A and B are shown apart, each in its own frame.
Chain A
């Protein structure tokens, strides 16, 4: 603990401290919002109040928050089946998220999308996607369009390491590199593609893949929101400046099952492993203790944030539970953009 830090660590420390403490506190709150929101989602599943399943992001909060903190509101993201964290970090509000998860009318997508399909133009969310690598084309296309339209927007394309199995990712990374598109591919390696350890289905080194197409590629500790934020910030501004796409590998871990119903996990990973990540690598606790250590916050402030977040979750949930289901006519709406003519 007390050993003298090396030059790299010292530089990082002063780098982190050059960022306003309020901003770190905001990231702390954002991570906590995702955590508490999703704990409630799990409760909804366990108490049979939520239709279907949901894929919890708990454990990976530092990735969504660190990356989205470096984005403008009008920048775009695409997300995945494990998307609640990305959506919240990009600015979604909890009440409409809960409503969507319950299939209720005031949900972000009128209840028609559900957990895996939250989309919201107001926050630049092009949509979560239930097809693995399903959004990589959309994300790259948005970057293509931002460049064509000259808007200075950047796109972040979130996906799990499982998406590295899909050929379309390599097709679009090639074009992104050829055409210097303003996009950051964020790969979250949480070690498992559903129920299979990733190394059983992935050959070679992950970073060699984007590098083969000439993308700038780096890896970070995805449990350390400071490292994620600082790196993402640099790569996003690089893309915004027209210097081309990049690939950010975030090493992370999901605490819960592949989805809320994946309760017995012993056949693919051990309890000890789960406990080790929760106890030693928790992104919220890591940031919290650093904030205390650097006197950027005291216990009281962190407790207050937690209390406020819990109140936010409670109110949002009540809103969603009390909300009506969509009108039956809704089922035929929005199949085509010009429905009035049909």
Chain B
């Protein structure tokens, strides 16, 4: 039914159930062992291993020459990474909270994204920017944003959002080997989530969506942590006799249009879930891709469920209203399937 490549964490040995943080760490360590040009830079990445402890232990193995603590200078060190990438290195930049990408925006959008094109293909910028996303952690408006749509909007940047430890490891290794600037978004609430990761080496190609659950009545396209919201909803829907298919694009750029369209043609009903703001965001783009590709097969308009169009509030009861939940997905799905 599924190749090990596609279905990551189902039914495999419990001996290699590791956390998302550990999967990311393994990917970095393996790539740094394989290629001496790979290095990490960012704030508190060395001894502290980042505030999320994702990089814990890497400085011990690779030393402070390759796991480099920077000043709080996002524009500066991202720019340095762009220059280092253009001249032969393969930097992995750590931007602690995705919200701080704004400080490095010129370096990413005007420099990294365009150097290859503007030079007529002469310069390459093989770098990865690892950063975080996600709300509901009570971190308020400047530490909770999910800004991936901005980067997916800029030609020249690739955008990756893993939803399982297996995907995170395989995709990060691919990102490091890619010759383009890649934005790699990790959800803060998922670092401790565990999943199966095989002991042997593997990579996951960009542009291949993963069907996380098969179903015939409804397609739920979801990204990052929303994949788990979708899976929970699908579970509840199954009890009501509605079989939802859950698809994780895994990379927004490049995007696996075919898998999304094919599923929409099969089920005729689609919900798209994302933790970025709903307006002008990823849900809009995916809805339009699906509508263009599956218009005559759709039984209803594609439904978008993004984050509420408000800055993320601190107060817990307010914050919890801003992101899609499995309960709300179930309600929406029932209505979509005429079962409300």
Contacts and interface: CB of A to CB of B under 8 A. Distances in A.
B340 interface: no
B336 interface: no
A113 B70 CA distance: 29
Interface in A117-155: 117, 129-134
Contacts of B149: none
Contacts of A104: 315
Nearest to A198: B71
User: Which secondary structure dominates where chain A touches chain B?
Assistant: loop
Q: How large is the interface on A (under 10, 10 to 19, 20 to 34, 35 or more residues)?
A: 35 or more
A133 B73 CA distance: 10
Interface stretch (B4-12, B110-118, B248-256, B304-312): B304-312
B142 A111 contact: no
A328 interface: yes
A27 B73 CA distance: 35
B73 A166 contact: yes
Contacts of A267: 47-48
Contact of B51 (A117, A162, A165, A194): A194
Interface stretch (B25-33, B133-141, B284-292): B133-141
Given A131-B100, A195-B44, A335-B309, A201 B138 contact: no
Contacts of B322: 331
Interface residues of B, number: 35
Nearest to B74: A166
Contact of B71 (A130, A202, A326): A202
B300 interface: no
Contacts of B99: 131
A112 B72 contact: no
A233 to B, nearest CB: 30
Contact of A194 (B44, B76, B103, B140): B44
Contacts of A335: 309-311
A52 B72 CA distance: 23
Interface string A299-336: 00000000000000000000000000110101110010
A117 B314 contact: yes
A222 B102 CA distance: 32
Interface in A69-88: none
Interface in A164-196: 164-167, 193-196
B152 to A, nearest CB: 23
A113 B318 contact: no
Contacts of B139: 52-53
Nearest to B43: A194
B314 A331 contact: no
A66 interface: no
Nearest to B317: A325
Contacts of B311: 335
B48 A194 contact: yes
A51 B316 contact: yes
Interface in B46-103: 46-48, 51, 69-73, 75-76, 99-100, 103
A41 interface: no
B315 A326 contact: yes
Contact of B314 (A52, A129, A268): A52
A167 B75 CA distance: 8
Contact of A332 (B47, B310, B314): B310
A202 B73 CA distance: 11
Contacts of B213: none
B140 A117 contact: yes
A193 B43 CA distance: 9
A26 to B, nearest CB: 31
30 contacts: A52-B137, A52-B314, A53-B139, A103-B314, A103-B315, A103-B316, A111-B313, A111-B315, A112-B141, A113-B140, A114-B315, A115-B314, A117-B140, A131-B142, A133-B72, A134-B142, A165-B73, A167-B75, A167-B76, A194-B44, A195-B47, A196-B47, A200-B69, A202-B71, A325-B316, A326-B317, A326-B318, A330-B315, A331-B318, A335-B309
Given A115-B314, A335-B310, 19 more contacts: A52-B314, A103-B316, A104-B315, A111-B315, A114-B314, A114-B315, A117-B140, A130-B141, A131-B103, A132-B72, A162-B71, A196-B44, A196-B48, A267-B48, A325-B317, A328-B317, A331-B310, A332-B308, A335-B309
Interface of B: 43-44, 46-48, 51, 69-73, 75-76, 99-100, 103, 137-143, 308-311, 313-318, 321-322
